[in-house]
Amino acid sequence: MKARLHHRDNCRLCSSRRLEAVIKLDPIPLAEKYTATAAPSDSDDLYPVDLYMCLDCGHVQILDVIDSEKLWDDYTYHSGQTKGIVEHFQEVAANVVARQKPAPGSLVIDVGSNDGSLLRAFKDRGFRVLGIDPAREIARKATESGIPTIPSLLTAELAAKIRKEHGPASVITAFNVFAHADDMNGMAASIKTMLAPDGVFQFEAQYLLDIVDKMLLGTIFHEHMSHHSLKPLVQFLKRHGLEVIDVERVTIQMGSIIGTAQPIGGPRKASPAVGELLALEEARKLDKPETVRQFSVNLDKLRKEVDVLKADWRKRGATVAGYGAARSGPTLIVQFGLEDVIKCIFDDHPQKVGKFSPGHRMPVVPTDELYKRKPDYVVILAFLHAKKIIANNRRYLDEGGRFVICCPKVQVVDKNFTGTL
């Protein structure tokens, strides 16, 4: 079944219709739709992922929205499978408890709770926890593992029901989902409904300034509907009765922000970090289309460099594979025109290995196949893990193989590579 798609004509945060395209990309398949056979299927369908800026509030966003059921129903991403993320969530929970001092044993809700990794960190600290996540299978497993999780999107009705049945929450988090929601107004209103007057709401999202500065192309796919910056969010949350009281830049996903808000009139004093980051955004003109357009200018340069590599590979009949069946894969494959170049993708993900990638039907094979197939070049598709992948596969380099990184700069890494990654 073809996914339903609609093109928003207004800003996801402020509803303005003054929207301007700032990053134009080639359409990509849905990043998680791996198929059991190589036969043509709806996983081949391509959908636009262009980014638009709202000229009124500065919010950068995808306006082509995939029907959420199609996007999330059989979603396979488990945050607990990534060790770094579990440690990050432990730190987040420790910080919230130390800085915001929620009452011991009070209720913590995570919106988009995935496999419950973040809530588990709160549960370990003695809090009551409740997860909300529309990916049914992941929600069921989380519940089974002791993190009660409601298998649903957050709606106004659900928020009212939770408030009635569980009482107000002292902490609400939206870490996996704040960039993923189309209906941001509905989400913010629901959060306000569930939050205690002295509670805190904390969110994490990849940060637009990092995306532009570090050329994080691999982070642009349909699930990431918003590419947040602070200024639009401050105005947006204020309209929902929430005041941003703290913000922190963190290295997660190569550049994210963790924002903290409380109901307006709440007991906490705002940190100077909020004003400081707003001043930086102002100085960098982050709410101006030309600032974000620089990304496209840089991308065009990278594409030309990859074209030179591809021509060389063709001439020499080189074999090329990909590494990492990550969500960034289809974006990188399409934008660099690698559809007919990459012959297979190395990955051990239990729900992807043995299957075929969306859109281009590249077989996903176990990573130990790297040493049997020995392709001449391996393009890193899991861009967040490039360093680790290369470090773990020195032997492939020693045996004459080469890794290729396309972003933020094009690099060919062989055994003699001495540059920095």
**DSSP secondary structure string for all residues of 115-126:** TSHHHHHHHTTT
Q: Which helix (H) or strand (E) is 36 found in, with range?
A: none
* Beta carbon of residue 5, minimum distance to Zn ion (angstroms, whole number): 21
* Beta carbon of residue 51, minimum distance to Zn ion (angstroms, whole number): 13
Nearer to Zn ion, 19 or 109 (CB): 19
Kindly write out the interface string for residues 304-333 of this chain, putting x where it contacts Zn ion by CB under 5 A and - elsewhere.
Answer: ------------------------------
* Beta carbon of residue 54, minimum distance to Zn ion (angstroms, whole number): 3
- Contact between 129 and Zn ion by CB under 5 A: the answer reads no
Q: Which residues fall within 8 angstroms of residue 187, CB to CB, at 6 or more apart?
A: 111, 154, 174, 177, 181
- Contact between 19 and Zn ion by CB under 5 A: the answer reads no
Nearer to Zn ion, 60 or 365 (CB): 60
* Beta carbon of residue 65, minimum distance to Zn ion (angstroms, whole number): 16
DSSP strand pairing (64-66 vs 5-7): antiparallel
Contact between residue 54 and residue 14 where contact means Cβ atoms under 8 Å apart: yes
- Find out whether the peptide bond into 151 is cis, omega within 30 degrees of 0: no
Span near Zn ion by CB under 5 A; candidates 12-20, 202-210, 256-264, 364-372: 12-20
* Beta carbon of residue 13, minimum distance to Zn ion (angstroms, whole number): 5
Nearer to Zn ion, 14 or 234 (CB): 14
Binding-site member from 16, 81, 152, 392 for Zn ion (CB under 5 A) = 16
Span near Zn ion by CB under 5 A; candidates 7-15, 186-194, 243-251, 317-325: 7-15
Q: Counting beta carbons within 10 angstroms of the beta carbon of residue 283, is it exposed (0 to 12), middle (13 to 18) or buried (19 or more)?
A: exposed
Q: Please state, in angstroms and rounded to a whole number, the distance separating the CA atoms of residues 92 and 7.
A: 35
The region, left, alpha or beta by phi > 0 then psi within -120 to 50, assigned to residue 112 is left
Q: Which residues fall within 8 angstroms of residue 188, CB to CB, at 6 or more apart?
A: 236, 237, 240, 242
Span near Zn ion by CB under 5 A; candidates 3-11, 152-160, 179-187, 255-263: 3-11
C-alpha closest to that of 73 among 30, 130, 116, 27:
30
Nearer to Zn ion, 54 or 309 (CB): 54
Q: Please state, in angstroms and rounded to a whole number, the distance separating the CA atoms of residues 48 and 58.
A: 21
DSSP-based helix, strand, coil % in the chain, nearest 5: 40, 20, 40
- Contact between 14 and Zn ion by CB under 5 A: the answer reads yes
Kindly write out the interface string for residues 36-75 of this chain, putting x where it contacts Zn ion by CB under 5 A and - elsewhere.
Answer: ------------------x-xx-x----------------
Binding-site member from 11, 25, 139, 217 for Zn ion (CB under 5 A) = 11
Q: Applying CB under 5 A, which residues contact Zn ion?
A: 11, 13-14, 16, 54, 56-57, 59
